[in-house]
Structure 1
Amino acid sequence: MIRIEKTLYTLLFLCFFSQLTLAQETITPKLIWAVNKVDLGTVLEEQGPQLAEFQFTHTQDSLFFIETVVTDCGCTTVEYTQDTLQVGESGVLQVSFDPSSGAGLFSRMIIVKGNLFGVQDTLYIEGNAIPRASDPAGTYRTRKGDLGFRLSKVNVGEVFTNQPKLKQVEVYNFGKTPFYKDSLQFAGPEYIQFSQLTDSIMPNDRGLLQVLYDGKLKNDLGYFEDQVSLNWKDSTTFIQLDVLADVFEYYAPFAKDDLNLVPQLVIDPKEKDLKTIKANAIQVVNVVLNNRGKQVLEIKKVQGNCECLKLELPKTTLEAGESILLKVVFDPKGRQGIDQRNIYIFTNDPLNPVQLFLLKSRVE
C-alpha cells in the first residue's frame, strides 16, 4: 500500500513539474520585432496617410500566423503578412496613420494576436500631426524672404552627446516660386545640418525642413545660440535662422551598487538670497563644491545665464572627498527689482551631470 502511494505521489509530482515546465515555455517570446515603436515625426495634414512598418521573425518550432490585429483608433489601418510562418521566417506589419483625424502629439497602440498561446504583442506609432492653417498669414508670422515660420527661432531643445537630435520645422511658401528639395544649400557650423523633407514647397503651401544637431561634434556643454544660412539655387530667397540648443553629456546607466564609487558633486549652498542690494554694489559669493564619490570629479564647465556674472574656479578636478570654492561675482548694474541668476555646473557625476546654483536678490 505504501509503495502504491509513493508511486501515485511520484506520478502527480511529474505531472505538476511537466505542467510547470510547459507554462514556463509559453512565456518565451515567439515573435522577435525589429522595433516595437515608430516615430513618424511631424506630419502635415496635406501629406495624407503615413506608413509605419514593423518587421518580425517567428522563433518557435510551431507554425505561426497572425490571427487578429486590434488598434485603439479609427485613424489607423493595418496590413500584415497573411502567410503561415515556420521557425526563422519573417513577416511585416504596416500601419497607415491618417493625420486629418486630429491635431497635436499622438501615440497610437496596435495589439497583435497570433494563433499560438501567449502571442499578444503591443506596438506603437507616435508623432505630431499638424492640421492645415486656416489663416496662413496669422499662423506663420515670422517672414524670412518668401518663407513664413511659426516662430522667429528654431529651438532644438535638449541635445545629448550620444546621438544627434532631429527637429522638424514647419514653413509656408508665400511666394510664387517653388522650393525644391534638391536645390537647398546650407551654410553653418559642422554640428548643425539642415535638409528639406518634402520634395517641394509649392506657392501658397506648406513644407517641412529638418535640422540635425550633433552634440558630440559641438564638443561643448550648455546653452547655445547659432546662426545658419539657407538658400535655394533656383530661388532668390536667402534666409538666416537662429538655432537654440541645450547640450548635455550622456552617461550610460550604471549598477546601483556602484553609486558610492562614481564621482558625486555636492553643492553647498544650492542657493543664496542676497536680499536687498544696491545696483552699484558688486556682490561676491563663495560656493563650496565637494566630491563625495570615490573617483575623481571633473568640472567640465561652469556657465552663468548673464554677462553680469563672473565665475572663478581654482581648479577643475577634485579627488575623493576634496572641496574647492567657486567664486561668484555678480554686478547688478543696470538691473532693478527681483532678480535671479542661474549658474550651471557641468561635471562627470553620472547621476547629476548638471547641477544648478541660484543667486537671488532684490536690486534697488
Structure 2
Amino acid sequence: MKYIVFLLNVGVIMLSNILGVHSQEVGQEGLIWENNLINIGGVLPENEVKVADYYYLNQTDSNAYIKEVITDCGCAVVAYSADTLAPNKVGHLQVTFDPETRGGTFSKMILVKTNVKPSGDSLFLEGVNIHYPENPEDHYKVKHNGLGFVFSQNNFGTLYTNKPKIKFLDFYNFNDFPIQLNLKQDSIPPFIKVKMEPALVQRNSRGVLEIEYDPASREDLGFLRDSVLLSFLSVDRFNVPLHLMATIHEYFPPLPLSQVDEVPKLSIDEMEIDLGKISAENVVSRILTLENTGPKTLNIRKIVTNCGCLTYELSAKDLKAGEKVDLVFSFDPKGRKGIDHKTITFFSNDPLTPTKTVVIKSRIR
C-alpha cells in the first residue's frame, strides 16, 4: 500500500513538472526520494529491531544503480538491490537500526552514492534509543494502576504553533496481565494524540507511548499544564493520569527586510522596573505604557504574570498605528521578604518580537 501511495505521489510530481516547464527552468534530477528523513520513534532494545523503508524514483533518461552506501554508524545496517533501475521506475532501500548503542535521541546519516549522482544523496534516520534499566522497579518509580513511569510531569519544552511536537514516554507494565491502549479515549483533548508501541504490552515488560501535542489546536499561549486520563484495556478497563507541560509561542514566518517597517510593533516604555524598598504590608501599583509604533493594528494576544500576587488592568488590546494605552499593575508583597523578581509577559501579533517580558524588581521589608 505504501508503495502504491508513493507511485501516486510521483505521478503528481511528474505532472507538475510537465505543466510548469515554461515557468521553471531548473527541474529535479537524479533520484527523487519519497522521504529523506524517517523518524522510527522510541526504540526498546528488548523488542524486535526497527526498520525504515526509503523509496526512490529514477527521474533520468538512463538506467541508475547504487554504487555505494555509507553510514556514520555501524548501528545502521543497509540493504538494497545492486541491480540497475530503469527510467521512471521505483527502487527501495531498507535501513535496520541496531539499538545496542548508547541511549538517547539519535540522528544517523546514510549517504547513497549512485552513477547518476556520484557525490551522493543524504538520508537521515532519527529516533530515541531507550536502554533497559538495571532495576525497572527503581527506574519506573512513578506508578499508576500497575504502570510505572520515569517522571510524574512530562515537559514538551518550547513549542511553536506552526507544527506539532512528539514526545516518547517509556513505561513498564508491572501488572500480571498484558495491556493495550483503548481505541476510545474519552478524556483526551483534540490537541493531544496518543499511540502505543507495541500495540500489546505483555506483563512485566516495557512499552512506549507516542504523545503528539499540537500547539495550534491548543489555542493558547505561554506556559500551560494539561492533565489527561489515558484509558487502557486488559481484563477490565482502567485509567492512568498523564501530566503534560509546554510553553507555547505563536509562530511568525521570517520577514523579508522590505517588510520590516510594514508590520505592527509593540513598544513598552519600561522593560525593567525597580520598585525599590517596599513594605510587605502595602500593595504597590505602577503604570506601563504600551504603544503600537507600526503602521498596522497591533493585537495583544495574551498577558501573563508569573504570580497571583501580580495583577493588571488594561482597557484595550487592539491598538491602531501610533496608538497608546496604559496598563496598571499591582503587586501585593504580603508574606514575602527580601529581594524579589516578578514578570509580566506580553504575547502579540508583532512578528519581530511576538513575546516580550517586563521584569519587576523589589526589596521587601
Shorter-chain TM-score category?
0.7 to 0.9
Contact 1:186–1:228 (CA<8 Å) still a contact in 2?
no
Q: Distance in 2 between matches of 1:263 and 1:346?
A: 13
**1:28: Cα distance to partner?**
6.4
* Stretch deviating more after TM superposition (336-345 or 231-240): 231-240
Code of the residue aligned with 1:275 in structure 2: it is G
% identical equivalent positions = 37
> Match of 2:17?
none
Code of the residue aligned with 2:355 in structure 1: it is V
Code of the residue aligned with 1:277 in structure 2: it is I
> Match of 1:131?
131
Q: Which has the larger radius of gyration?
A: 1
**1:139: Cα distance to partner?**
1.2
Could you say if the C-alpha distance between residues 349 and 112 of structure 1 is closer, same or farther in structure 2, counting changes exceeding 3 Å? same
Could you say if the C-alpha distance between residues 150 and 276 of structure 1 is closer, same or farther in structure 2, counting changes exceeding 3 Å? farther
> Match of 1:294?
295
**1:236: Cα distance to partner?**
5.9
- Note the 1:1-364 alignment, pairs <5 A: 29-182=29-182, 185-234=185-234, 235=236, 237-364=238-365
Could you say if the C-alpha distance between residues 107 and 198 of structure 1 is closer, same or farther in structure 2, counting changes exceeding 3 Å? same
Could you say if the C-alpha distance between residues 256 and 215 of structure 1 is closer, same or farther in structure 2, counting changes exceeding 3 Å? same
Q: Distance in 1 between matches of 2:26 and 2:116?
A: 9
Could you say if the C-alpha distance between residues 44 and 302 of structure 1 is closer, same or farther in structure 2, counting changes exceeding 3 Å? same
**1:184: Cα distance to partner?**
6.9
**1:218: Cα distance to partner?**
2.1
Contact 1:181–1:198 (CA<8 Å) still a contact in 2?
no
Q: Distance in 2 between matches of 1:314 and 1:211?
A: 39
How big is each residue's C-alpha offset from its partner over 1:165-184, in whole Å with a ceiling of 9 and x where there is no partner?
32221111122122123567
Code of the residue aligned with 1:287 in structure 2: it is L
**1:311: Cα distance to partner?**
1.9
Could you say if the C-alpha distance between residues 220 and 179 of structure 1 is closer, same or farther in structure 2, counting changes exceeding 3 Å? same
How big is each residue's C-alpha offset from its partner over 1:26-66, in whole Å with a ceiling of 9 and x where there is no partner?
99641222222222222222234221222222222232111
Q: Distance in 1 between matches of 2:131 and 2:353?
A: 39
Aligned pairs, how many? 340
**1:291: Cα distance to partner?**
2.1
Contact 1:184–1:195 (CA<8 Å) still a contact in 2?
no
**1:83: Cα distance to partner?**
3.0
Contact 1:103–1:128 (CA<8 Å) still a contact in 2?
yes
Q: Distance in 2 between matches of 1:152 and 1:123?
A: 36
Contact 2:159–2:215 (CA<8 Å) still a contact in 1?
yes
Could you say if the C-alpha distance between residues 295 and 181 of structure 1 is closer, same or farther in structure 2, counting changes exceeding 3 Å? same
**1:87: Cα distance to partner?**
2.9
**1:336: Cα distance to partner?**
2.7
Could you say if the C-alpha distance between residues 88 and 362 of structure 1 is closer, same or farther in structure 2, counting changes exceeding 3 Å? farther
- Give 3-state SS (helix, strand or coil) of 2:341's partner: strand
Code of the residue aligned with 1:359 in structure 2: it is I
Q: Distance in 1 between matches of 2:359 and 2:353?
A: 16
Could you say if the C-alpha distance between residues 94 and 268 of structure 1 is closer, same or farther in structure 2, counting changes exceeding 3 Å? farther
* Stretch deviating more after TM superposition (27-36 or 149-158): 27-36
Structure 2 unmatched runs, 5+: 1-24
Code of the residue aligned with 2:146 in structure 1: it is D
Q: Cα RMSD (Å) of the superposition?
A: 2.4
Q: Distance in 2 between matches of 1:119 and 1:26?
A: 19
Code of the residue aligned with 1:333 in structure 2: it is K
Code of the residue aligned with 2:171 in structure 1: it is V
**1:156: Cα distance to partner?**
2.5
Q: Distance in 1 between matches of 2:314 and 2:120?
A: 57
> Match of 1:5?
none
Q: Distance in 2 between matches of 1:124 and 1:293?
A: 43
Q: Distance in 1 between matches of 2:81 and 2:337?
A: 68
Contact 2:300–2:317 (CA<8 Å) still a contact in 1?
yes
TM-score normalized by the length of structure 1 = 0.85
Contact 1:198–1:209 (CA<8 Å) still a contact in 2?
no
How big is each residue's C-alpha offset from its partner over 1:242-285, in whole Å with a ceiling of 9 and x where there is no partner?
22222222223332211111222233322223233222221223
